Amino acid sequence: MKKIIIISLAIMVCGLFTGCKGGSDKILIGVSLPTLREERWNVDKRGFEEAAAKLGVEVSIQIADNDGAKQLNQIETMITQGVKALIIAPHDATAARRLVEIAHEDNIPVIAYDRPISGGNADLFICVDQFEIGRAMGQHILDNAPGGNIVFLMGDAADYTVYPMRDGSRSVLQPKVDDGTYTIVMEQHVIQWSQANAMRLMEQALTANNNQIHGVIAPNDGTAAGVIQALEAQGLAGQVPVTGQDAEVNAIRRIIAGTQGMTILYDNLKMSEAALLAAIRLINGEDPGATGVLEDGTPVIDFPPGVVTIDTYRELLIDSGLIDEQALQ
């Protein structure tokens, strides 16, 4: 009898405090990121952690390692854990439709983050305008390559962001292709946005064209690094304009050194906080604050890209406090 009373008292005490389950009464939001192999996703992860502390919610952050099956398993586990909303940066935009279906079966709202989920069934999409990113890349080539052979690299084919980005670049470059100013000698996807794969493609383009390459659309800073490695091996680094995206520290170093022409900055910390705020609103049945709608009907909150060059990096990154100048030494 004494033992039963003690257990009963323990249960009553447990009901007064949240620590007995090792958790709390905070809202739990699941975040699925595709990788941490690229610097920018580490910044997003930090942004979600900092925003969660600021907003008084808990986050379960899972990393899919560019594996769609793993991402599915992780999301199923988070649903079992009781997440009230999901924020997903999908590895595969088409396959991710199934992720949304699974979540919606349990009335869990889904926000697509940085990468859209094709099919229009996500509750919100938070991103930087991918068409404008591509347009800025195309403009850089137009401004810095008077003519000649262009290598046009795109990110992994399963990542839907590569298509509006491609269209943005094409909107600028196509008239010059049509009039013969430019010849696109290679147009390829870079599997898994891999630096090594980008380097191999660039080596192939250089070989096939006797090193006569006059501009390169590289879809992010990791692929730009691979492209520049191939150019360096032929003594061409700094002579060929190369684009990028993500404003990684190493990319800024290359811009200062003159081997990479530009990159794209978007404020990952603001985006991650906006995603958590929108998730809270959706959980509460409120308007998430969309600023527009995609063609497939998905509500969207988009952020403008910042174009980082040798002329703008100090203002955009150092003066703003996003990068410590000592990190660039």
Q: Is the pLDDT of residue 21 over 50?
A: no
Rounded average pLDDT over 53-67 = 96
**Mean pLDDT across 27-43:** 93
Answer yes or no: is 142 within a domain: yes
* 159-168 pLDDT tens trace: 888 999 999 9
- Where does the pLDDT of residue 304 fall: very low under 50, low under 70, confident under 90, or very high at 90 and above? confident
242 versus 8: which is more confidently predicted?
Answer: 242
Instruction: Over range 269-291, report the average pLDDT.
Output: 95
**What rounded mean pLDDT belongs to the chain?**
90
Q: For residues 258-282, give the mean pLDDT.
A: 95
33 band by pLDDT with thresholds 50, 70 and 90: very high
d(CA 166, CA 215): 15
Residue 136 · residue 262 · CB < 8 Å? yes
- My answer on whether 54 and 68 are in the same domain is yes
Please check whether residues 234 and 277 belong to one and the same domain.
Answer: no
Tell me whether residue 293 is in a domain: yes
The confidence band for 241, taking pLDDT boundaries of 50, 70 and 90, is very high
Tens-place pLDDT, residues 134-179: 999 999 999 999 999 999 999 999 888 899 999 999 999 999 999 9
CATH of the domain at 38: 3.40.50.2300
Domain that holds residue 214: 130-245
Q: Which of 8-17, 180-189, 296-305 has the highest mean pLDDT?
A: 180-189
Residues 118 and 157 in one domain: no
Categorize the per-residue pLDDT at 24 as very low, low, confident or very high, splitting at 50, 70 and 90.
low
pLDDT higher than threshold 70 for residue 127: yes
Number of domains in the chain: 2
Q: Considering the domain boundaries, does residue 197 fall inside one? A: yes
Q: Per the domain annotation, does 216 fall within a domain?
A: yes
The answer to whether position 313 is within a domain reads: no
Whether residues 221 and 148 share a domain: the answer is yes
CA distances from 14 to 8, 18, 25, 26 (A): 10, 7, 13, 17
Residue 40 has pLDDT above 90, yes or no: no
Same domain, 108 and 138: no
Residue 19 belongs to a domain: no
Q: Are residues 112 and 139 in the same domain?
A: no
Least confident of 42-51, 60-69, 72-81, 111-120: 111-120
The type of residue at 152 is F
Shared domain for 236 and 273, answered yes or no, is no
Sheet holding 182-189, edge to edge: 182-189, 148-154, 215-217
| pLDDT at residue 12 is higher than 50 | no
Are 147 and 237 found together in one domain?
Answer: yes
Please tell me whether residues 281 and 299 are part of one structural domain: yes
Q: Give the model confidence (pLDDT) of 194-234 as tens digits.
A: 999 999 999 999 999 999 999 999 999 999 999 999 999 99
pLDDT reading at 132 higher than 90: yes
The string of pLDDT tens digits covering residues 95-125 is: 889 999 999 999 999 999 998 887 768 999 9
Torsion of CA 220, 221, 223, 228, to 10 degrees: 140
Q: Long-range CB contacts (< 8 A, 24+ apart) of 318-326?
A: 322/247, 322/265, 322/267, 323/247, 323/249, 323/252
What pLDDT score was predicted for residue 187? 98
Contact 86, 111 (CB under 8 A): yes
User: What DSSP string runs through 302-317?
Assistant: EE--EEE-TTTHIIII
Are 99 and 139 contained in the same domain?
Answer: no
**One domain, residues 90 and 182:** no
Work out the average pLDDT over 294-313: 92
